[in-house]
Amino acid sequence: MKRHHFNLRTKLVLYFLFGFVIPIIIFGVLLFSLQFRNSETYLVRTQETSVFQLADRISQELRDIRAISNLYYLDDELIAGLSEESAGTNVDLHEKLDQMARTFSSGLGTMNADIALLDANGVYFSNASNLKRPSAQQLSSLVWREGNLSWFTSFSFEEGTVEPSMLYAYRPLHDRSTWKQVGALLISIKENALQKVYAGYLTESQNAYLMDNQGNVISYVDNQGVSYAVPESILPLYSGSFRDTADGVPQLVSYYAIQTAGLKLVVASNLNDLRIPYRQTTRFFLGILILYVFLALTATYFLPRRFVRPIQELQANIDLVKQGNLDTMVPVTSSDEIGQLSEQYNDMLRRLRELVDGLMEAQQAQHKAEMHALQAQINPHFIYNSLASIRFLVFSQQNQAADQALIALINILRGTLSNPHEFSTVGQELKLLQDYIALQRISFSRALSVEFQVDDSVRSCKICKLTLQPIVENVFLHGFAGGQQDCRLWITAREAEGHAEILIRDNGCGFDPAAPKPAQPEGGLPHTGLGVANVHERLQLAFGPAFGLHTESAPGAGTTVTVTIPKQQAEGGALVYDNSDR
């Protein structure tokens, strides 16, 4: 077979072309395409983040409404005025309602709302005389039932009977001595109050629609001046984005569910306007790519000349280290370009060794940082709810209970935010848990029994900080959400098979572990604090894969969570936690 002979320069040119220039061109085209797709993806993520923040802002306002409803629900004088058995109390409900509305108006944030009461006989009391209200028969047939706060829109009533584009929060009121329903609380929110929460955050290229779970638009902002109908296919979905058109204008539509009131926020943006900032960047990137290809072709033509002569000498020096390792340097035998190249090669080996050493240190630092990041989280909603409960105790002049609640909250914050250590002891975690349960009891309206059984042999065992509180938080948020009146919680700490075990068992509603878990929004769990998955990951990072959490549950049979840790005694690295003031 005939062999083709090329001189060294020709070979280098071919190598540069096929090994460098052509791959750079292909890579540049792919990178350009990727950059365009990334820009589109960034647009979507940016809008989804914006919609999430707007939805969270609306949700926070609605949670304020829920908090205000709790204050009405817990007002004994108001309940007495509605009760049939206390007709002689001489409580003027109109005056009482006006007084409470003035007192609690600051808790409604930026959202204005009208407060109304409905007694057991259908008599209507309101602080807004000009508001068209639903009839007592409508309210009775629709929502006269047991339960917590319920949300309705104008579309829940017969057309024309109430004002359009309204959001209603309904809550039954009970005589807590007999648990008999004596009336109801109705909070009415107009469209302009809802619109005021999010309209100021929209651009001139965005429309926004606030919908109920039936697809009815209860509030909207049309900044584009185009007609757009939100498709019903997104109603069962939690969040997402898609492209659509409105009057021939391309739209990027993002939506996010507001679970607080069963609403969905939809934002449609003019896609052409969104792409304007990226067009100049795209043209700049294309120009750089063309310039880079031109320089690469120029280098392909000129550089081989410089490497033809000294390349063989360099090859001889490189052969000395072919079978070596990073500790073997190439001898520098000259001061010309090859000598400089040899020095650079030696410098590269030294830097590579430094890079490997630095990478090992960075991995260790990253592991430690991940442990700190996982431990640094705390559920802000727990703090908000605790402060709201303490405020209620102060407002209702229960000073001793408020003082105990403040001490419990201080102890919890001192044991979490002020604790720089990664670990504490089982005994300290149980003390923190006692304070947490004490705060939860304030706003827990049902009978609650808690039993602790702790072996002294495991009290001083080393455990990750904030391991038990998120699990008990899940019990209150999910386990006791089924409405049972006799709520029980057992917490057992014991030694088992050379390890330490902590069992947290409840008699709540339970769940099916095999059932698919609902999708969660990006950024983590919004209502469960650290989350049991986070706790499990922290335990495995700290103690290894043999330890962590094990959950057993069945619908209607309660849930048992077992925390398994090694029986290691804590030595110094834990801040002393003391709730003896309680």
pLDDT tens track for 249-280:
999 999 999 988 889 999 999 998 888 887 77
With a cut of 50, say whether residue 1 has pLDDT above it.
Answer: no
Contacts of 427 (CB under 8 A, 6+ apart): 454, 459, 460
Q: Residue 296: which of 4, 16, 581 has the closest Cα? A: 16
Going by pLDDT thresholds of 50, 70 and 90, the confidence category of residue 32 is confident
pLDDT digits (tens, 9 = 90+) for 438-479: 888 887 878 888 999 999 888 889 888 888 888 888 888 888
Which range has highest mean pLDDT (81-95, 264-278, 527-541)? Answer: 264-278
pLDDT digits (tens, 9 = 90+) for 157-214: 777 777 778 888 888 888 888 888 888 888 888 888 888 888 889 999 999 999 988 8
pTM of the predicted model over 0.85: no
pLDDT digits (tens, 9 = 90+) for 392-411: 778 887 878 788 878 877 87
- Written as six digits, the tokens of 395 are 């407002």
Which amino acid is located at 490 in the chain?
W
Domains, the chain, in order of start with CATH, read: 1-308 (3.30.450.20), 376-516+525-566 (3.30.565.10)
In terms of pLDDT, which residue wins out, 340 or 127? 340
SS3 track for 101-154: HHHHHHHHCCCCCEEEEEECCCCEEECCCCCCCCCHHHHHHHHCCCCCCEEEEH
With a cut of 90, say whether residue 240 has pLDDT above it.
Answer: yes
With a cut of 50, say whether residue 523 has pLDDT above it.
Answer: no
The SS3 of residue 232 is helix
Question: Rounded to an integer, what is the distance from CA 498 to the centroid of its chain?
Answer: 37
Residue 50 has a pLDDT of: 93
Residue 581 has a pLDDT of: 46
Question: Rounded to an integer, what is the distance from CA 123 to the centroid of its chain?
Answer: 43
Do residues 487 and 506 lie in contact, with contact meaning Cβ atoms separated by under 8 Å? yes
CA distances from 561 to 238, 539, 553 (A): 29, 14, 9
Which amino acid is located at 103 in the chain?
T
With a cut of 80, say whether residue 140 has pLDDT above it.
Answer: no
Helical axes 380-395 vs 426-443, angle rounded to 10°:
50
* Terminal CA-CA length for the chain: 95
- Written as six digits, the tokens of 480 are 């006791």
CA distances from 26 to 22, 23, 292, 300, 535 (A): 6, 5, 12, 16, 46
With a cut of 60, say whether residue 359 has pLDDT above it.
Answer: yes
Which amino acid is located at 114 in the chain?
D
Q: Lowest-confidence range among 44-53, 351-360, 526-535, 566-575? A: 526-535
With a cut of 80, say whether residue 382 has pLDDT above it.
Answer: no
CA distance 261 to 213: 9
- Residue 435 is inside which H or E element, if any? helix 426-443
Do residues 156 and 134 lie in contact, with contact meaning Cβ atoms separated by under 8 Å? no
Q: Per-residue pLDDT averaged across 542-546, rounded? A: 84
SS3 track for 65-100: HHHHHHHHHCCHHHHHHHCHHHHHHCCCHHHHHHHH
DSSP 8-state class, residue 506: E
CA distance 493 to 458: 7
In terms of pLDDT, which residue wins out, 580 or 119? 119
Do residues 436 and 459 lie in contact, with contact meaning Cβ atoms separated by under 8 Å? no
CA dihedral sign of residues 93, 98, 100, 105 = positive
Angle (CA) 141-142-145 rounded to 5° is 85
**In terms of C-beta density within 10 A (0-12 exposed, 13-18 middle, 19 or more buried), how is residue 79 classed?**
buried
Q: Per-residue pLDDT averaged across 373-398, rounded? A: 70
- Written as six digits, the tokens of 230 are 């939100």
- Written as six digits, the tokens of 437 are 């349960």
**In terms of C-beta density within 10 A (0-12 exposed, 13-18 middle, 19 or more buried), how is residue 519 classed?**
exposed
Do residues 90 and 290 lie in contact, with contact meaning Cβ atoms separated by under 8 Å? no
Report the share of the chain in percent with pLDDT over 90: 13
The SS3 of residue 569 is strand
CA distance 359 to 371: 18
What is the residue-averaged pLDDT of the chain? Answer: 77
Phi, psi of 216 (to 5 degrees): -85, 135
The stretches of 268-336 forming alpha helices (DSSP H) are 271-308, 311-318
The SS3 of residue 337 is helix
Q: Lowest-confidence range among 18-22, 166-170, 493-497, 506-510? A: 18-22
**Between β-strands 486-496 and 447-454, what pairing exists: parallel, antiparallel or unpaired?**
parallel
CA distance 177 to 25: 80
- Written as six digits, the tokens of 198 are 């999010």
Residue 372 has a pLDDT of: 56
With a cut of 60, say whether residue 108 has pLDDT above it.
Answer: no
Which range has highest mean pLDDT (131-135, 236-240, 422-426)? Answer: 236-240
CA distance 164 to 174: 30
Neighbour count for residue 147 (Cβ, 10 Å): 10
Report the share of the chain in percent with pLDDT over 70: 74
In terms of pLDDT, which residue wins out, 367 or 487? 487
Question: Rounded to an integer, what is the distance from CA 244 to the centroid of its chain?
Answer: 28
Residue 64 has a pLDDT of: 86
CA distances from 254 to 191, 214, 377 (A): 21, 18, 28
